[in-house]
Amino acid sequence: MKTQILTAIGETALQPAACLNEALAANDRIKYFFSLLQLALTYAEHPNQPTGTLKRERIACGINDPDLDTVVAGARINGNLCRVPGAARILSRIANDVRLMAAPVLATKPEGLAGRVDRLLKAMPAVSDDLLDPGVISAMMQAGHDGPDSLHRLVMDLHKWLNAMQANLAEETLDGAAVYRLSKPDRPLVAAFMAGVNRTAKLKFNHPGLATTATRSGGRLVIQNDIGLTDAHVIVIHVQKLAVRVTYTDVHPERIAFFEGMLKPHAVTWEKQSTAVLADGAPFYVAAGYMEAKDADDCRSYLEFLGSRLVFLIDWNHARKQLRGFLRGPDRLALLNWAAESEIGHRGFLEMGGARLVNQAIEATAGTAMHFGDRICDVLGNAEALKFLQFAFQAATEGLLSHQSQALIRDRIRVTLAAHFSNKDRQFLRLAADHAGLIFELATQVRDGLQAGHDGAGKRALRARRFEHDADHLVIETREAVHLRPDYSVFLALLETADDAADELEDAAFLLDLDTLDGKPLEALQALADLLVEASQEWIKAVGHATQIGLAVMSFETEDFLTSIDRLGDLERQADIAERALAATAVQHAQNFRQLHLFTAIGDRLEAAADALKRVSLILREHVLADVIHG
């Protein structure tokens, strides 16, 4: 298929090398299929022996078909025959790959080869109901030179011819690239490209790909890289003086957009994306980008950067699909962009199981915080979910590169996810802390208003309304978050109860703006207001200590938290006593009924605010003791 792509985009100079690469890749696949059939026949005869899957060999030769991993275990003797799951498909793939191997050799017209290929392919057994004759299969895979000709012997002979042809075609290997007919100025350019490829190639792990061929054709350097195994996935680079043109083909337009985005630092100009169709009707997309380098150093820098980006195209679409259950579309792209820019990549994540890796961490740590169908972004929020997946990518890549055990990598990811779930509590508590700060501002407005008399009363009342408005918005934000996550309904109850205190204090500030209060009852009212300021300060302390409990295992945080809760209860009792003292004093010493009403009304609001602070402190206490410390 790669040779068809090169033909479709007019790259004839690279076709011989691409054809040889395809033929050699087909040889690897045939070896795998032969081993798979032999292992399946052996297991069918001895089902009590341990079985293998050859999964590692399948992946190494680039076959993306996990169903083949179950073939050996499913093999069974059936009379004189052996039933091998998918046998017909396996033999068909062997025949196709033999034809691929033979194609470049037949182009040299070796005498008698075409007839030999046809004869041995026609001799392959017909398969019905996946039943194979073990004797016929063994004869087909006979490798020795004694006895009749066999398909296996043909494959071995073709492999020798291909190796000889490749040696004749490629004059040398330059930093891993097969090169031929290069001029002297071409060599540093190819070396620069390969420096980029080789720097990041480790990030593909066990995945095949990144084979590079370079030659000089039509007065320009031509570099081709096969990237991965996807048939229509090829990049061809033309370098002529300081002009670099990139032609990139792909079946996924989204990956083309990703590739174009990676090259933005070098200001590549892209032509309008086009489509093409192969002989079998399969469509693919073609993107062409042009960059004029400032000088030779700039040209080499661009080629090195370009080479370093190719590994991030391998399995890109697979990684994007694996992230669907965890992130929204824009964040999936943001994660893959971050992984490329950070040279972390996504292949380590896929090597560790991809979505299965994250789902196992969720099962081990989430508990009741997640339900069937939930996505991490819905529970943790977009930013937190993205941050966690970035850690998962990094932990997988760095762990595999440093040869850490997979168990250790999984444990690190689980511990980090558990921390993110506990962070959700702290996010709500930070909202409560912001709300507590507004309560303190409201209590201060009332206290300062009593001390200043009627001077500036209008401005204070306006500020109080603004503080109360901001407090309402925090409640609304919490309500919306809890609507998505009912498990956190305790925080809505907490904010709504605390908001009762904010409402009462704003009412008190409003009443205080109606008239100037003086006389003996004013002292009692000021004493009550002082208690509210102290209670609001204690509430700020309580919420602050609560955010630290569980974050660091420190006993003094819990002790300080409980002390603040106890102090709030004491202040509520003092406020109740002070409110009664105010009522008694106002009845005896208020100058008129208007003053009496204001003293008692403001006192009622302040006492109600103190009562609300006590109630919310008990809600927080119950949550911390039951869900955080003992949860």
Q: Which domain holds residue 337?
A: 318-404
CA 121 from chain centre, in angstroms, equals 46
Pair (272, 385) in one structural domain: no
Pair (450, 592) in one structural domain: yes
Pair (231, 369) in one structural domain: no
Pair (179, 95) in one structural domain: no
Stronger pLDDT, 424 or 593, i.e. the higher one:
593
Q: Which of 512, 518, 478, 517 is nearest to 494 (CA)?
A: 478
The residues, ordered by sequence, that sit 6+ positions from 155 with a Cβ below 8 Å of its Cβ are 27, 30, 31, 98, 101
Q: Which of 145, 169, 193 is the last residue of a domain?
A: 169
**Residue 135 token pair:** 């004797």
Say which range, 135-139, 368-372, 524-528, 624-628, has the weakest mean pLDDT.
Answer: 368-372
Q: Which of 580, 588, 586 is nearest to 607 (CA)?
A: 580
List, as one string, the DSSP characters of 442-463.
HHHHHHHHHHHTTTTHHHHHHH
State the DSSP H helix or E strand holding residue 95, giving kind and residue range, or none if neither. Answer: helix 87-106
Report the pLDDT value the prediction gives residue 22, as an integer from 0 to 100.
78
Per-residue pLDDT tens for 260-306? 999 999 989 998 777 766 555 667 788 889 999 999 999 999 999 99
* CB neighbourhood size of 591 (10 A): 11
Q: What percent of the chain has pLDDT above 70?
A: 89
Report the pLDDT value the prediction gives residue 630, as an integer from 0 to 100.
47
**Residue 347 token pair:** 């292949």
Q: At residue 396, what is the residue type?
A: A
Pair (322, 310) in one structural domain: no
How far apart (Å, rounded) are the C-alpha atoms in residues 203 and 620?
47
Q: Is 614's pLDDT higher than 60? A: yes
The residues, ordered by sequence, that sit 6+ positions from 297 with a Cβ below 8 Å of its Cβ are none
Report the pLDDT value the prediction gives residue 460, as an integer from 0 to 100.
81
Q: Is 608's pLDDT higher than 60? A: yes
Q: Which of 247, 280, 314 is the last residue of a domain?
A: 314
- Which of helix, strand or coil describes residue 285? strand
Q: Which long-range contacts (CB under 8 A, 24 or more apart) does 269-278 make?
A: 276/8, 276/9, 276/249, 278/1, 278/4, 278/5, 278/8, 278/232
Mean pLDDT of 310-324: 95
How far apart (Å, rounded) are the C-alpha atoms in residues 576 and 613?
13
Residues 472 and 499 sit within 8 Å (Cβ to Cβ): yes
**Residue 153 token pair:** 């012997």
pLDDT, the chain, mean: 86
Stronger pLDDT, 348 or 235, i.e. the higher one:
348
**Residue 244 token pair:** 């670099």
Extract the runs of DSSP E, i.e. beta strands, from 125-211.
131-132, 172-174, 177-180
- Whether residue 7 lies inside any domain: the answer is no
* CB neighbourhood size of 165 (10 A): 19
Q: Which residues pair with 372 in a beta bridge?
A: none
Q: Is 366's pLDDT higher than 80? A: no
Helix (H), strand (E), coil (C) string for 594-627: HHHHHHHHHHHHHHHHHHHHHHHHHHHHHHHHHH
Q: Can you tell me which residue has the tokens 């079985």?
A: 51
Cα torsion through 454, 460, 461, 462, rounded to 10: 140
Q: At residue 69, what is the residue type?
A: D
- Whether residue 4 lies inside any domain: the answer is no
Report the pLDDT value the prediction gives residue 554, as an integer from 0 to 100.
47
List, as one string, the DSSP characters of 226-284.
--SS-TT-EEEEEEETTEEEEEEEES-HHHHHHHHHHTGGGT-EEPPPEEEE-TTS-EE
Report the pLDDT value the prediction gives residue 358, as an integer from 0 to 100.
92
Q: Which of 380, 383, 390 is nearest to 335 (CA)?
A: 390
Q: What backbone torsions phi and psi does residue 111 show, to the nearest 5 degrees? A: -65, 130
Mean pLDDT of 1-13: 60
Report the pLDDT value the prediction gives residue 553, as an integer from 0 to 100.
44
Q: What is the CATH number of the domain that holds 523?
A: 1.20.58.220
Q: Which of 527, 542, 539, 519 is nearest to 589 (CA)?
A: 519
Q: Is 3's pLDDT higher than 80? A: no
Q: Is 372's pLDDT higher than 90? A: no
- Whether residue 419 lies inside any domain: the answer is no
- Whether residue 274 lies inside any domain: the answer is yes
Q: Which of 291, 314, 337 is the last residue of a domain?
A: 314
Greatest mean pLDDT among 196-205, 474-483, 551-560 lies in 196-205
- Whether residue 417 lies inside any domain: the answer is no
Greatest mean pLDDT among 507-516, 554-563, 577-586 lies in 577-586
Say which range, 26-35, 275-284, 329-338, 555-564, has the weakest mean pLDDT.
Answer: 275-284
How far apart (Å, rounded) are the C-alpha atoms in residues 399 and 409?
6
Q: At residue 161, what is the residue type?
A: W
Q: Is 552's pLDDT higher than 60? A: no
Residues 421 and 369 sit within 8 Å (Cβ to Cβ): yes
Pair (110, 158) in one structural domain: yes
- Which of helix, strand or coil describes residue 150? coil
Q: Is 370's pLDDT higher than 70? A: no
Helix (H), strand (E), coil (C) string for 526-548: HHHHHHHHHHHHHHHHHHHHHHH
Stronger pLDDT, 108 or 230, i.e. the higher one:
108
Say which range, 84-88, 452-456, 521-525, has the weakest mean pLDDT.
Answer: 452-456
State the DSSP H helix or E strand holding residue 217, giving kind and residue range, or none if neither. Answer: strand 212-217
Pair (364, 217) in one structural domain: no
- Whether residue 413 lies inside any domain: the answer is no
Report the pLDDT value the prediction gives residue 4, as an integer from 0 to 100.
63
Pair (204, 285) in one structural domain: yes
Pair (398, 433) in one structural domain: no
Stronger pLDDT, 430 or 175, i.e. the higher one:
175
Stronger pLDDT, 443 or 38, i.e. the higher one:
443
Helix axes 382-401, 355-365, angle to 10 degrees: 110
Greatest mean pLDDT among 136-140, 230-234, 351-355 lies in 351-355
- Whether residue 5 lies inside any domain: the answer is no
- Which of helix, strand or coil describes residue 219? coil
Per-residue pLDDT tens for 451-478? 876 666 678 888 999 999 999 999 998 9
Pair (47, 147) in one structural domain: yes
- Whether residue 437 lies inside any domain: the answer is yes
Say which range, 184-193, 229-238, 272-281, 596-605, has the weakest mean pLDDT.
Answer: 272-281
How far apart (Å, rounded) are the C-alpha atoms in residues 369 and 281?
49
Pair (153, 198) in one structural domain: no
How far apart (Å, rounded) are the C-alpha atoms in residues 405 and 272?
46
Residues 578 and 531 sit within 8 Å (Cβ to Cβ): yes
- pLDDT band of 9, cuts 50, 70, 90: low
Residues 450 and 526 sit within 8 Å (Cβ to Cβ): yes
**pTM for this structure?**
0.57
Give the total number of structural domains in the chain: 4
Residues 123 and 105 sit within 8 Å (Cβ to Cβ): no
CA 489 from chain centre, in angstroms, equals 29
- pLDDT band of 106, cuts 50, 70, 90: confident
Pair (134, 196) in one structural domain: no
Q: Is 567's pLDDT higher than 60? A: yes
